[in-house]
Structure 1
């Protein structure tokens, strides 16, 4: 059997001490030593300690900026493959077998891979949102950050990696990436807690996100979009 390529996982964080442990437990299933990086943006709730207790390596950035966090983590990553995840994500039990099969297959550098977006919670609106995301990901080649990203370091570096921008860093990356290779689904769910979506109002949040993307495509600065998003 051929040796499994090394895998680095990069997770940006900001005050995620209550949700991060669940993801860290999921990541423990990887069968070989995992190069795990938590890139924190100044948490004050013990996130750094939670990460360190799990064996993760912790990096700090001065200000909350997801693009900068992802880029910083990737620069330190030692693996030949990179997997980017959000701190509130949950992986299914079978993820190690599927990821290992992908990164050991021939011509594996010719694609990048994403998870299927799944929302924890009940309701027709949640299922419709999942369907819309699936259509966008498969047909438009636009999987976003909450679907994770599995990519070889060689390909990541070739396309220029994440830009240090505070918003739209995922859209910026997949636009460049889809011009070079095809993005494929791993056929695995990546679960996101639906309570925040429901609290903010699902339709309202979807509309706001669509408007931000429209402004981004029109050339507005990511810094201004971030201010509007987090106000």
Structure 2
């Protein structure tokens, strides 16, 4: 018999299957995440997305939508799926301005993906957009106790890739020829945040979102700058 030394992964202490994400309300200072509902949210979202034009849907497997009824049918379908779809509500204006969801959930391994990230122009480059992502991440890591939070995007979708890096995701690789979307090849890029990284990610979010980081509505330090400083201080 050959004598071989085999290496093993670290032991995951006291691991148990995690709960599936629930369709609950998550409250922030600027926005609220509500379970997606056709009657309540479809009209606001349809109108908000129309402001972005058809290019908004280029890298998304669905859309564009010319009729409210068609978009409402999609929302009705998503709202009753097993995935946890949320509408992003601007608390000041009381209207839905975007949506996102927790999908491809794997409770046995504590893995879930954030998807259907559809942010209308009312969310572009706003503090509210960052807060929406923060609320969902916090729910996944702290309330549900997941180990891995995924982000995937079309390899040609530069803004999505940039957003992933800004939010603290780590690039893992490209799945070549992963799908055919709207008749075109899609190479899919994978990103993730894992539980041991969440502590520093949360610290960066908390500092960036605090009133002390803003003056006349403008950030003093970028989120990436704050995160880099936190990591440097640990070395």
TM over 0.5: no
* Higher relative strand content: 2
Q: Normalising by structure 1, what TM-score?
A: 0.30
Q: Normalising by structure 2, what TM-score?
A: 0.29
Higher-Rg member (1/2): 2
* Higher relative helix content: 1
